[in-house]
Amino acid sequence: MNKMQALAKILITIIGVYWLAMVCLSILQIMVTILPHFCRNPHGMIDDMFGISLLVLFMIFIILVIAGILKKRDKIALKIAGSEEIKNVDAQIKWIPFAYRLVSVIGGMYCFGKSVGYIPMIIQSFIYKRQDTINYHQMNSIISLVILIIAGTYLICGAPHFVRWQTKKTIVMNES
């Protein structure tokens, strides 16, 4: 394992454990939000369970994604540190695509972790029946959640188009 792979593995582990802890804390926050409401109003529980169960399943999906990244961090570190597209260049230039890939993967993990913060707000909207009409705050939360998931997915994949484009651009800029 070279320096680039070791650095990628360490950073993925640190960020992954941090966001896994944040997701678990968010789940606890949801439970603290849900339980008092259901104790006061057990008759409305069935109406709210569908939306809440979908959001909890989404939280479990995010936990599985982050846990999968942590489990496969060796393979991900090898992919991040790979420098197949640049051959016959000095060692400093080989770090350019590595840095872009590493930042994109960490950014994707950040997006997935941040998306969890919107889930309690959406659940509270379902619980307290504020959904008669969708207001600006609810729509903003839902749109932010969708954008974070889409961006997180692209970034966790390593943002391949961006990395290739930016690497070529950086090498051309350095040559001139």
Q: Contact 158/105 with Cβ under 8 angstroms?
A: yes
Q: Tell me the whole-structure pTM to 2 decimals.
A: 0.65
Torsion-angle region of 133 (φ positive above 0: left; ψ -120 to 50: alpha; else: beta): beta
pLDDT in tens, the chain (176 residues): 677 778 888 888 888 888 888 877 877 777 777 666 666 665 655 556 666 676 777 778 878 888 888 888 888 888 777 655 445 556 667 778 888 888 888 888 888 878 877 777 777 666 665 555 667 777 788 888 889 989 988 998 888 888 888 888 888 877 76
Q: Contact 98/81 with Cβ under 8 angstroms?
A: yes
